[in-house]
Structure 1
Amino acid sequence: MNWMQKDVQTSAQMEIAWQCAPVLTGVKPSNILTLKNVSEKEVAESLKEMGISYSMLCDGGVRKVWLIYREEEILEIIGKKEYSEFLDTLGYRGFEFPQMLQIMNLRFEGYQHGSAEFPHELGIFLGYPLADVKGFIEHNGKDFLYQGYWKVYENVEERKKMFSIYNVVKEEFIREMQAGKDLWHAARSVRQPFDIQPA
């Protein structure tokens, strides 16, 4: 690998860290990752051995959108009765996770190309609390009580605490990357918050 290739890889890894640090450190189950001029091979190489999966939501050529996720945690979320019932109403009844992910990906790509409405169930796959996903739908994205990593409709103080933890993890992760560590080593160096509550 020459210096230019290494620089591109470092830039891609820094962007992944900036957008997805809470997922990389295990305090958030998933996140959207938007990258320009980065191949799937580079994403796969960057996430190798981190226990993190990825799925391309939209391939816009130069710009690609990915879902970066911890599968075990997503399965735990969508396995909850209230979450599975909600997804059932949106056309996911009877499907296993790989098929559910494929449906959601197709809907998201359709939205990006202007041929479909935004798939609000994406919030579930991103680990957002069900109350906030439903609140967003019912209020058309308006009348929220607070806005951080997503629009909040219930339990504001709890969400603020969660967002604060995400921010701390992100700041520490970026510092580790700036010190020269790759994603794998940075993720293991970041101080793990002990008081975060699952969504």
Structure 2
Amino acid sequence: MLTWWWHQPLEVKIAGQCAPVLAGVKPSNMLVLENKHIRDVVRTLEGTGLSWRCLYAGDEKNIWLLYRKAALEEIVFREEERMFLAENGYEEDRLDQMLVRLGQRFREYRRTQDIPFPHEMGVFLGYPMADVKGFIKHEGKNYLYSGYWKVYENVEERKELFKSYEQIRNVFIQEAEKGKNLWEITSEWQCMTA
């Protein structure tokens, strides 16, 4: 399947990896793309309402965080998430500053792996705190279900959520394969669900 992704148009790659964010039902997602797409990402995302930050630029691929700013701010500044992030060194009071720190920690991990993976990434990806903390406590093991992330509580609720993500993903991929721009697909989706 990985080979299939690398040969798709950029819109299909982004739709396949980030459809729930494009649809506005998830605050953020990671996007992994080959280096050749670095200039085209901005053009491709215009009009979608998304913000983005390159967290890591490697020799062959880049790892981006695509996000809806207001939705992500709402999450990272909730009391439990804010306390968790502060415990992990995030004292900043603005999302953009926090994302700079996240990028620094992620790059350091990717370059040297002398530091542990920055598990606070789960908060920035909109994962429920119970699952973020469960993953850390159990070191990624003993999960009850695995989908878009490893689940440690509320399995049936998460299964339904993941199912809706997959349905959205399928629609966005199909529309992108037809040659539609992401902003067109996003606009049509918002009109359908309004």
Task: Give the distance between the partners of 2:55 and 2:105, measured in 1 at CA.
Answer: 9
What's the counterpart of residue 33 of structure 1? 31
Question: 1:50 deviation in Å?
Answer: 1.2
Residue 172 of structure 1 contacts residue 190 of structure 1 at CA under 8 Å; is this kept in 2? no
Task: Give the distance between the partners of 1:27 and 1:186, measured in 2 at CA.
Answer: 14
Compare 177-186 and 149-158 and name the one that shifted more.
177-186
Residue 176 of structure 1 contacts residue 189 of structure 1 at CA under 8 Å; is this kept in 2? no
Spell out, residue by residue over 1:98-136, the C-alpha distance to the aligned partner (whole angstroms, 9 max, x if none): 111111111111111123210000000000001100000
What's the counterpart of residue 3 of structure 2? none
Task: Give the distance between the partners of 2:47 and 2:175, measured in 1 at CA.
Answer: 18
Task: Give the distance between the partners of 2:184 and 2:21, measured in 1 at CA.
Answer: 14
What's the counterpart of residue 98 of structure 2? 100
Unaligned regions of 5+ residues in structure 2, if any?
1-5
Residue 165 of structure 1 contacts residue 193 of structure 1 at CA under 8 Å; is this kept in 2? no
Question: 1:94 deviation in Å?
Answer: 4.1
Correspondence list, 1:30-179, <5 A: 30-113=28-111, 114-179=113-178
Task: Give the distance between the partners of 2:92 and 2:65, measured in 1 at CA.
Answer: 22
Q: TM-score, normalised by structure 2?
A: 0.90
Residue 92 of structure 2 contacts residue 98 of structure 2 at CA under 8 Å; is this kept in 1? no
Given candidates 15, 18, 23, the residue that maps to 1:17 is 15
Task: Give the distance between the partners of 1:157 and 1:39, measured in 2 at CA.
Answer: 37
Q: Cα RMSD (Å) of the superposition?
A: 1.8
Read off the aligned partner of 1:160 and give its amino acid letter: K
SS of residue in 2 equivalent to 1:92: coil
Spell out, residue by residue over 1:160-194, the C-alpha distance to the aligned partner (whole angstroms, 9 max, x if none): 11000000000111111122211111223348669
Spell out, residue by residue over 1:4-29, the C-alpha distance to the aligned partner (whole angstroms, 9 max, x if none): xxxx9x71111111111111111111
Task: Give the distance between the partners of 1:72 and 1:38, measured in 2 at CA.
Answer: 30
Task: Give the distance between the partners of 2:115 and 2:143, measured in 1 at CA.
Answer: 24
Read off the aligned partner of 1:35 and give its amino acid letter: L
Q: TM-score, normalised by structure 1?
A: 0.88
Q: What is the identity percentage for the equivalent residue pairs of Structure 1 and Structure 2?
A: 45
Unaligned regions of 5+ residues in structure 1, if any?
1-7, 195-199
